[in-house]
A and B are shown apart, each in its own frame.
Chain A
């Protein structure tokens, strides 16, 4: 699709007509802001003075109706539409790799309803998640979704990649917390999923859109359940002699009671990051855990937890380390604490049933460490279910190759190795960061023949293929 002469300006006029002149831009400052998200390859590009992928138009609708208008225009001109919330995604899912339109949802940030009796809160998806949480706090409630990107991500972004928060072990992942959404389909129609997430009224539409990463439509409103702020919240820490023992103990804990946080760290991470931020000096497999809720119930849960840990010969480290971890949980992500360019780093996260997860940890570790001499691998498991848990493994290379192309090749090789090792042992492409641009190429081999279901839906909803091209393997 070619644009010649002043066609660009004609399209600009139509977009301005849809959302207002002040809300469409193609100035350099506006475009540059969308060239980089949290994806390492995008960061590397600007760090080395390279040219990031930039949109042709930055469009900022103020409501679902305006989103609908923009999508109709985009379909007519076959312009790609990349939806941008906070841009804090690590998988490159929001990057305007196909040019065209970046549709920034952050003007749609109104609080629509808060019902303290029903325990629900409804908002437009462009709201920063922290703001939603603050509004719930004002009424003595919490959405209980506390990801590390809480202060930077939008509600829409969190939904679009099926995000997770640190309290998920008790309160669930975002797809457990979201009750319904309003979606602008690629053809501009505005639809709603059913008012409740659990029913027997046909296949559930809600999980189709949650985690669809902007490829099937744009979520414009969302309703969440809220929980009363807990009466007590207590933190504890333990040291296991090794990660195997840790896995066994934690599995038993989450199959017995419902802590809100369980984080089990491998030896490498125990030694490095934990030591740096909390000042913890011992060797072994560190675990911190949080229980919360009614005081009576929490006391009972704690008793059971301490018994289980004793059974596995854990050293009880008291409440101080656990409290310090909770206090500093966001500190990890600030500059100076978190890895930064020129280091190459990434988080391979996956999830599996208990019979597979430890196998996956060792397989990923081996696969990644074999890819490159001088790669560090640190791991922890931080979100637990009755049936299994996830694994969060980071690789860090302090001195990656200088050459951009070589860097990209090495980066992709490590991801291929790690993710394939996970899939081969019963894991999946990703637990809670999404697929995005980074891992789209692995979707077909992961889904096998099931991929046609996703492709069929994509074809039907987005026949022109304008919704976030090159992402999520679709």
Chain B
């Protein structure tokens, strides 16, 4: 069994930290693997605990500083780590990221399961898993809290709004994994010793066959307009019975940047 886990490296700054602070105070917070992704990795490693021949690969699209986090993943038990790193990737939105990941996954090839954390704690879009499943042409289950391989059958438990449902499916598949409450393993001393010698494979845009125009800020159909601390006030409601008119009104609202009409 070949499992790939997509990791995002995020900053664990809390909402009380200043977002516009430019000095080197505590803005930025700790860098680490996004909690839901770490949980997905943990679930993959538990499969490996019971079936040691399982191969677990981790991949991330990030600047060079992500190497430390990838080594931690190897120290926790991952077999292989891939870093997609290219200066042209700066500013990539979720669509571009999904395209890049899909291209890399296709190049690496042969995975039975592709796991993603459901949402990242910084942007919280939840886009990557569904976009990846489209690009890879694979079925996807969302809000996965547990899964098991039973011969050829993939058994999945999905939990939404406190209601759990169980599904059966087949590999290969993409699973969007919710962050759970079970303990996520930390790297052991032995694991860290092993990971020191491990090679982190690096892929550039050229390696995965994507051009710079289709990457980074330039290639992204969406971009972050502003990062602000939100304050909420009561405002007028907008009621539309016509879907097109309603959609148009919404677009005007968003473009206008007004939030209380």
Residues of chain B with a CB closer than 8 A to A336's CB: 23-26
Q: Among A335, A336, A337, find the residue whose CB has the most chain B CB atoms closer than 10 A.
A: A336
CB contact list, B10-51 vs A, under 8 A: 23-26
Residues of chain B with a CB closer than 8 A to A272's CB: none
**Binary per-residue interface labels of chain A (320-343) against chain B in the complex, 1 for a CB within 8 Å, 0 otherwise:** 000000000000000111001000
Residue of A nearest to B23 (CB): A336
Interface size on A, residues (CB 8 A): 4
Give bound CA distance, A336 to B23, whole Å.
Answer: 6
Give bound CA distance, A337 to B24, whole Å.
Answer: 9
Residues of chain A with a CB closer than 8 A to B25's CB: 335-337
Chain B proximity of A110: nearest CB distance (Å): 38
Interface size range on B against A: under 10
Give bound CA distance, A314 to B13, whole Å.
Answer: 43
Give bound CA distance, A229 to B25, whole Å.
Answer: 35
Residue of A nearest to B21 (CB): A336
**Binary per-residue interface labels of chain A (328-365) against chain B in the complex, 1 for a CB within 8 Å, 0 otherwise:** 00000001110010000000000000000000000000
Give bound CA distance, A336 to B24, whole Å.
Answer: 5
Residue of A nearest to B25 (CB): A336
Residues of chain B with a CB closer than 8 A to A340's CB: 24
**Binary per-residue interface labels of chain A (111-144) against chain B in the complex, 1 for a CB within 8 Å, 0 otherwise:** 0000000000000000000000000000000000
Give bound CA distance, A337 to B26, whole Å.
Answer: 11
Residues of chain B with a CB closer than 8 A to A335's CB: 24-25
Give bound CA distance, A337 to B23, whole Å.
Answer: 8
Give bound CA distance, A340 to B25, whole Å.
Answer: 11
Give bound CA distance, A340 to B24, whole Å.
Answer: 9
Give bound CA distance, A335 to B25, whole Å.
Answer: 7
Chain B proximity of A224: nearest CB distance (Å): 36
Give bound CA distance, A335 to B26, whole Å.
Answer: 10
Residue of B nearest to A334 (CB): B25
Residues of chain A with a CB closer than 8 A to B26's CB: 336
Give bound CA distance, A337 to B25, whole Å.
Answer: 8
Residue of A nearest to B26 (CB): A336
Residues of chain A with a CB closer than 8 A to B23's CB: 336-337
Instruction: Point out residues on B near A: beta carbons under 8 Å.
Output: 23-26
Which 4 residue pairs across A and B have the least CB separation, nearest first? Answer: A336-B25, A336-B23, A336-B24, A340-B24
Ordered by A's residue number, 9 sampled pairs between the chains whose C-beta atoms are within 8 Å are A335-B24, A335-B25, A336-B23, A336-B24, A336-B25, A336-B26, A337-B23, A337-B25, A340-B24
Please name 5 further chain A to chain B contacts, defined as beta carbons within 8 Å, in addition to the given A336-B26, A337-B25, sorted by A numbering.
A335-B24, A336-B23, A336-B24, A336-B25, A340-B24
